[in-house]
């Protein structure tokens, strides 16, 4: 009887101890907030002695829980990979690098190296891997903003030297319906503009490559531009100079020039043949989107063009 009571008491005590365990666990768990490091799961990482790679940055991470950081807990160094610049940012950097280069004519070796690097990064992110299969994107008028093609440099330097006649625009117009290409150079003077164009046909040879065969060149007749306007007066070295006496002379000159330009403009454009040795070429489009195109020609020349009407031209 006594032993039975003792045995029963022992069982009750054991049951009470087991029943107390959940409450003990709950109370102890409240002492360790969610997400905090505990003595049982804390891992001490060795300090980083090696210098991180250039594509990585080091950031110190400190425990941040509802009680604040543990002053005794050391910060952990974490390697984070730097994010590569997005395409839009790369395009902005590329366009900015063209400033003052006169479409590549006066670019320094350092600037050319920077441009080539930016072009390589954009080519690696090309959103149109098969440009010749996206003819709607290729179609339209493209304005040349940079080139490494030395064949254009004499033209650009001549335009820069023949003041006030300048090379106003170099463009390439692609018609994906008729498979034609028209390259055009526009010269602008004080009273008129004229152009030299070459007409060609192209064939698709690969997802990126087209073969171009030039058929003829055309020298456009001069087109009359807006007249020159003189102000009433100008200030020079603190003195106001009246320009009204010159207006009559300028008007006479402009009338004569306008009459001459109209006479010339009524003439048909002058066509010329292209030598066989220069009649064929090929072009590889290595980057293409809605407003930017990068192409490489035979000989390794680079051409960067912007679609007419694109905000990038601003």
Q: Are residues 130 and 191 located together in one domain of the fold?
A: yes
Q: Are residues 242 and 119 located together in one domain of the fold?
A: no
**pLDDT score for 142:** 98
In a domain, 68, yes or no: no
Q: Are residues 140 and 230 located together in one domain of the fold?
A: no
CATH number (domain holding residue 101): 2.40.128.280
Total tally of structural domains belonging to the chain: 2
Q: Are residues 213 and 228 located together in one domain of the fold?
A: no
**pLDDT score for 158:** 57
Along the 314 residues of the chain, how does pLDDT read in single tens digits? 444 434 444 444 444 444 443 443 344 444 444 444 444 344 443 444 444 444 444 554 444 444 555 555 554 454 444 444 699 999 999 999 999 999 998 899 999 999 999 999 999 999 999 999 999 999 999 999 999 988 787 777 755 555 567 888 999 999 999 999 999 999 887 767 888 899 999 999 999 999 999 999 998 877 766 555 555 665 555 556 565 665 565 566 666 666 666 666 667 888 888 888 778 999 999 999 999 999 999 778 999 999 999 999 98
How far are the Cα atoms of 131, 210, 211, 272, 276 from residue 205, in angstroms, in the given order? 11, 5, 7, 28, 21
Q: Are residues 291 and 170 located together in one domain of the fold?
A: yes
Q: Are residues 115 and 234 located together in one domain of the fold?
A: no
Q: Are residues 171 and 281 located together in one domain of the fold?
A: yes
Q: Are residues 106 and 150 located together in one domain of the fold?
A: yes
Rounded-to-integer distance, Cα 54 and Cα 153, Å: 38
266: its two tokens: 């009524």
Diameter of the chain measured on Cα atoms: 140
| Domain's final residue, options 248, 268, 288 | 268
**pLDDT score for 273:** 86
204: its two tokens: 């698709």
Domain of 205?
87-220+271-313
Q: Answer whether 183's CB lies under 8 Å from 198's CB.
A: yes
């Amino acid at each position: 009887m006594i032993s039975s009571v003792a045995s029963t008491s022992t069982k009750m005590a054991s049951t009470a101890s087991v029943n107390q365990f959940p409450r003990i666990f709950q109370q102890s768990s409240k002492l360790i907030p969610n997400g905090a490091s505990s003595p049982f799961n804390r891992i001490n990482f060795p300090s980083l002695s090696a210098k991180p790679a250039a594509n990585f940055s080091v950031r110190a991470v400190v425990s941040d829980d509802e009680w604040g950081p543990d002053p005794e807990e050391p910060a952990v160094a974490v390697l984070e990979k730097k994010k590569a610049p997005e395409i839009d940012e790369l395009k902005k950097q590329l366009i900015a690098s063209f400033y003052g280069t006169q479409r590549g004519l006066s670019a320094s070796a350092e600037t050319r190296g920077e441009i080539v690097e930016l072009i390589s990064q954009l080519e690696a992110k090309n959103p149109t891997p098969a440009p010749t299969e996206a003819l709607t994107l290729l179609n339209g008028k493209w304005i040349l903003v940079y080139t490494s093609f030395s064949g254009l440099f004499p033209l650009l330097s001549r335009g820069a030297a023949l003041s006030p006649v300048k090379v106003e625009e170099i463009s390439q117009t692609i018609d994906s319906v008729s498979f034609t290409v028209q390259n055009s150079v526009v010269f602008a003077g004080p009273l008129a503009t004229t152009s030299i164009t070459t007409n060609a046909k192209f064939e698709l040879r690969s997802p990126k490559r087209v073969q171009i065969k030039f058929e003829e060149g055309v020298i456009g007749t001069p087109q009359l531009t807006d007249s020159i306007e003189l102000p009433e007066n100008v200030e020079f070295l603190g003195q106001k100079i009246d320009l009204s006496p010159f207006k009559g002379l300028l008007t006479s000159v402009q009338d004569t020039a306008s009459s001459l330009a109209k006479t010339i403009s009524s003439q048909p454009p002058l066509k010329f043949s292209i030598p066989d040795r220069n009649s064929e070429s090929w072009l590889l489009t290595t980057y293409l989107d809605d407003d930017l195109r990068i192409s490489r020609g035979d000989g390794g020349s680079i051409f960067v063009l912007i679609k007419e009407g694109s905000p990038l031209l601003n």
